[in-house]
Structure 1
Amino acid sequence: MVRALSFVVVVSLVLSATFPAALAASVSANGSAAVATASAGEAPQVNAPDDPEEDVIGWENGYWYNESIDVDQSDGLSEAETEAFVARSMARVEYLREAEFNQTVPVEVISRDEYRNSSGSESTNTTEFDHWNDQVWEALFIVGESTGSSSALGETTGSSVAGYYSPVDDEIKVITDDPDTPTVNNATLVHELVHALQDQRYDLTDAAYRADTQDGELAVDGVVEGEANYIEARYSQRCGDEWSCVKPAESGGSGSGADFNLGVYLTIFNPYSDGPVYVADVVEERGWDGFERRFRNPPNSTEQVIHVTDEEPVPIAFNSTARDGWQTYSSLGENGSDTAGEASIYAMFWYQAREYGADTVNPSGLFETTSEYDAYNYDAAPSAGWGNDRVFPYHNGTGEDAGHGYVWVTEWDTESDATEFRETYVRILDAHDVEETEEGYYEIPDGSFADTFAIEQNGTRVTVVNGPDAAAVSDIRPSLSPTNATTTTREPTETETTAADDTATREPTETEPTTTADPTTSETPTGAETTTTGAGFGFAVAALAVALAGLLARFR
């Protein structure tokens, strides 16, 4: 399978200059995102010191990090101006990062049309992957059936990429709307130069910087994009007072509204927001040597990045018990599953509150940050306490007439965390006018998220099953069928109990596909409370979802 585009290795989305303003305007919330943007500076001119006898940190190709250069990009950059701009920027990245480039980084300017034409991913399994990925984003209640994940991702990212570093070509590509008079944004250049330095030091094509799940990808990007945004912010802080910086080209602006899916954008923006805070914490506590050790062994969940913790996800074992033709996509993801993770679950709650008025989280809480490096706050009660999750998309048949559904298994640190997640999730269903059937299922009657759902809480585990109708839900996960378990109202009391889910315990028949992972997982303790509600929920955001480019398509 092809997992299109990693933020880290394939293309680097430079979102910090575009997303915060658009999102803040769209949400109309009080407060502002603390994202650094490099501005034109009027610092005193500094004459070039003598060149060193050998290459040193803070000096590159004839330019010191603190010297002034004669560059004016109001009418586009000449070749000589570009060389000076890039060389001094490399010196500044070296100075801030306290590390040396091994070689000069080429910078090529390309048009946005050229970028769009070259960024389509190639896969012999595209249709199957799209169906699998659609279910992940639909489970998260971020992309509904009327749009499709590929379309939503393309629309969200297609106009926001300012540049990227290609570790295959060892080159930075800056995207511009007018290649005849090329201009380069300070922040974009510095950000991508950090990725070039990372590649020279660690090799970004190494398997350590790839993951099989969405949450894993976002976690890795927490250090890769986090370091780039951290250095970018420290650079921006010096522009104007301490350093003279090349003035940006005039721009007509893009308006105050957002014409993309804010839920998708908030999900993929997490590494650019919480990553710099994570990096700053490691550097301040352990220095750059300590960060280097962490970079070589990156975090494996967004929970670790959001909360700056080493807490490991709880293993989840799963056996499919589906019948009547329903089966998983065993060749995709991690044994057919994806992991949404805490960042994506928060994005789900935020998006549903903002777009549909769901009583989940306060949308303005997104702006309640505590660090100078933090753009947004991804920490909220119903998504905190995450222990792990696995989303299993299902299909029945092939082609356009196939049926689709999913099982989403989530684990939480405490039973209280699990209850809070379940109750908040159910309020998403309420926002879509969910109806309870006589059999105990819950149905969203119309709209892009119209489907049938069943939910079961068993101690610290909450399982959601989704399908096109009640029969499908029953066939996808027979043990969660209301006919096999006591169904409660959406506000269960402490005394309400039901039959436990047979997840990872029921032996499948010969006709039932089996998907297992982490078989060491312990089962739910005997006597743990089990609450089942017929309602559903969108689940695990699939493949790191930014189908931006096949520039470095990764084959799994």
Structure 2
Amino acid sequence: MTRRTLAVAFVALVVLAGCQSPAGTGGGAVETTTAPATSDFDYADPAGDTLGWEGGYWHNESLPVTVDDGLNETERDQVINRSMARVEQLRSLEFEEPVPVDVISRSTYRDEYTGSGNSSDAMATFDNVKFEALFLVGERNDSLSVQNSNRGSNVLGFYTPRDDRIVVIAESETPTIDENTLGHELMHALQFRNFQANFSSPTRDKANAHNGLIEGEASFLDSQYGDRCGAEWECATPEAAGGGGGGGGSIHLGVYMMKYFPYSAGSAFVEHVHSDGGWDAVAGVYDEPPASSEQVAQPEKYGSDQPRDVTLPDRSSDDWERVTPGGRAPHGEVGVGGLTAMFGYPAYEQDRHPQDAVLNPLNYGANGNIDQDSPFDYATQPVAGWDGEQLWVYENGTETAYTWRLAFDSDGEAREFARTYRQLLQYWGGERVDAQTARWRIPENESEFADAFRVTRSGNEVTIVNAPTTDDLDDVHSK
């Protein structure tokens, strides 16, 4: 469960929006005061364990720690115990046992946690074609490497359910700790200790749906945590910590947008559930998790608008074979998070013409500023009516292709998606070859997505066929 903090996300977003990043928030060099501390508050240790107290520290207690030069082991233990007290106070769930917290360097994190592991050839091919279908990573690049690079540069910490421990990524041996990040990961420990949170997620859409609950609840809570820092609580977070994840490296903003779905849309989803029934209602969602990322992006559809079971038969010639990696669904399903990234990436893709962007994916609040808790809008018009999909990957020797069928709630929404998709093809250099047969072609050297496409609509379904050349289209999927 990696955590890209909202502060990190906002830094990326302000770059996109062309504005300046706000100053970081947090405590000063040394904690000296705590807003809610009053003369009548009894800071004595309770007789037994109680909400809002952990390891000798109350949730609203000041700590004699020096922040800006990093936290030594003693200071780190103090901050961790107080953060546990704060999380259980906010969430009304008791930590029955301490949560181990390890600190590793960013180079260690890159070496040990961001490799592609033992990915099979089928998995690598499948993932590469899926990201190519989303116009995020072209044929000349490896999608797994791009995703790993994003994680290696921006993750500040994560919780591992298998080991029941938190790992903090540090830039020095005496690390600073962003308390929001720590609170977020501590919330994960409560989730996996108290609820059935080990969901089976065979596709990207199912993963975004389930993580929309898991990461959404943690993000919703760390937003409340952050609101209290500097207002009600002193927080052991240096000023510079608000500026990003550290470690340098470039961010692929399209991939970032897709992977950030659980944090952005999930936070709003959990807030919606919480506003109706409090934490008990949120806990109840673990028994019936969202069935699609659409239900997270549009909470009013949760529990009612179930995704359709889309079918896409294999109509390929003998030369083309489906690629079906093990350990997951044999087909792709990216959902509204992936589709939003597909349509939104051109707004921030730097090598072409951002002024010709297909849509602006940023979510603006009533004040006209980007909503920091839910910065992306994953319910834009081209994808809002999503109702299910299947994406199948094919290979013929070293050549690859795909077929993709997407269902929508209405004929009009399918028509809008197809129209926007053709606009996307044009952005990447696509030219209509034959209007009657709905064939398109992106010429070689026009962009990294040079290929042939057939885009058709039948009622409320859109079918996209991709192949190396227009002559190959019917071999990949005969009409």
- Please name the residue that 1:385 is paired with: 385
CA contact (8 A) 1:48 1:64 kept: no
**Is the CA contact 2:451–2:469 (under 8 Å) kept in the aligned structure 1?**
yes
Match of 1:109 among 91, 98, 103: 103
CA contact (8 A) 1:219 1:302 kept: yes
Within the alignment, does 1:245 sit opposite 2:228 as a pair? no
SS in 2 for 1:158: helix
Distance, in Å, in 1 between the alignment partners of 2:19 and 2:477 is: 41
Alpha-carbon distance in 2 for matches of 1:57, 1:106: 19
2:251 aligned residue: 260
2:442 aligned partner: 444
- Answer yes or no: is 1:97 the counterpart of 2:91: yes
Q: 2:464 matched to 1:468?
A: no
Deviations 1:456-485 (A, max 9, x none): 100000000001012321111011xxxxxx
CA distance in 2, matches of 1:45, 1:420: 53
How far apart, in 1, do the equivalents of 2:284 and 2:241 lie? 41
Q: Which amino acid aligns with 2:214?
A: V
Aligned to 2:211: 221
**Counterpart-to-counterpart distance in 1, 2:222 and 2:25:** 8
Contact 2:34 2:61 in 1 (8 A): no
Matches of 1:247 and 1:433 in 2, distance apart? Answer: 46
**Is residue 72–residue 247 contact of structure 1 (8 Å, CA) maintained in 2?**
no
Per-residue deviation, 1:437: 3.5
Residue equivalent to 1:302: 293
Identity within the alignment, % = 35
- Cα deviation digits, residues 517-549 of structure 1 (max 9, x gap): xxxxxxxxxxxxxxxxxxxxxxxxxxxxxxxxx
Question: In structure 2, how many angstroms separate the alpha carbons of the residues matched to 1:360 and 1:223?
Answer: 31
- TM-score, normalising length: structure 2: 0.89
Shift of residue 191 of structure 1? Answer: 0.8
Given the alignment, which residue of 160, 178, 184 partners 1:185? 178
Q: 1:124 to 1:113 in 2, by over 3 A?
A: closer
Q: Is the 8 A contact 2:114 2:152 kept in 1?
A: no
**Which residue is 1:78 aligned to?**
72
Q: 1:40 to 1:138 in 2, by over 3 A?
A: same
SS in 2 for 1:404: strand
From the superposition, tell whether residues 124 and 95 of structure 1 become closer, same or farther in structure 2 (CA, over 3 Å). Answer: closer
Give the superposition deviation at 1:98: 0.7
Output aligned runs, 1:321-360, within 5 Å. Answer: 321-332=315-326, 335-355=329-349, 356-357=353-354
Is this contact kept in 2: 1:454–1:464, CA < 8 A?
yes
C-alpha distance in structure 2 between counterparts of 1:251 and 1:294, whole Å: 33
SS in 2 for 1:367: coil
| Corresponding residue to 1:201 among 181, 194, 211 | 194
- For 1:224 and 1:89, the matched residues in 2 are separated by 19
* CA separation of 1:428 and 1:457: change in aligned 2, threshold 3 A: same
TM-score, with structure 1 as normaliser: 0.77
Contact 2:24/2:243 (<8 A) preserved: no
Q: Which runs of 5+ in 2 are unaligned?
A: none
Q: What's 2:43 paired with?
A: 49
Alpha-carbon displacement from aligned partner over 1:210-262 (angstroms, at most 9, x marks no partner): 3000011011111111111111010111111211222426469679x983211
Q: Describe the shift of the 1:435–1:358 C-alpha distance in structure 2 as closer, same or farther (beyond 3 A).
A: farther
Give the letter for the 1:238 counterpart: R
Q: Which stretch shows the higher mean deviation, 425-434 or 436-445?
A: 436-445
Give the Å deviation of 1:331. Answer: 4.0
The structure 1 segments of at least 4 consecutive aligned residues displaced by more than 6 Å after TM superposition are none
CA deviation profile, 1:185-206 (whole Å, cap 9, x unmatched): 11111111111111211254x3
The equivalent of 1:424 in structure 2 is: 420
Compared with structure 1, are the counterparts of its residues 461 and 258 closer, same or farther at alpha carbon in structure 2 (3 Å cutoff)? farther
3, 8, 12: which is aligned to 2:2?
Answer: 12
TM-aligned CA distance change 1:360 to 1:422, over 3 Å = farther
| Residues 407-435 of structure 1 deviation map (CA, whole Å, 9 limit, x = unaligned) | 00000100000000001100111123323
Q: CA deviation at 1:332?
A: 4.1
Map of 1:278 onto structure 2: 269
Of Structure 1 and Structure 2, which has the larger fraction of its residues in helix? 2
Structure 2 counterpart SS, 1:172:
strand
Gaps of 5+ in 1: 1-10, 480-556
- How has the CA–CA distance of structure 1 residues 306 and 144 changed in structure 2, closer, same or farther, with 3 Å as cutoff? same
* Whole-Å separation in 1 of the counterparts to 2:264 and 2:357: 21
Separation in 2 of the partners of 1:359 and 1:145? 23
Alignment of 1:393-412 (within 5 A): 393-397=393-397, 402-412=398-408
CA, structure 1 residues 337+252, in 2 after alignment: closer, same or farther (shift >3 Å)? Answer: closer
CA root-mean-square deviation: 2.5
Corresponding residue to 2:363 among 363, 367, 381: 367
Letter matched to residue 270 of structure 1: F
The 1-side partners of 2:87 and 2:174 are apart by: 26
The offset of 1:346, in angstroms, is: 1.1
In structure 2, C-alpha distance between the alignment counterparts of 1:182 and 1:372, rounded to whole Å: 26
Distance in 1, Cα, partners of 2:133 & 2:457: 17
> SS of the residue aligned with 2:274?
helix
Aligned length: 456
Alpha-carbon shift at residue 84 of structure 1 (Å): 1.1
Quote the offset at 1:281 in angstroms.
Answer: 1.2
1:389 Cα deviation after fit:
1.2
Give the secondary structure class of the aligned counterpart of 1:108: strand
Higher mean Cα deviation, 66-75 or 232-241? 66-75
Greater mean alpha carbon deviation, residues 211-220 or residues 332-341: 332-341
Q: How does 1:37-186 map to 2 (within 5 A)?
A: 39-40=26-27, 43-44=34-35, 46=37, 49-121=43-115, 124-178=118-172, 180-186=173-179
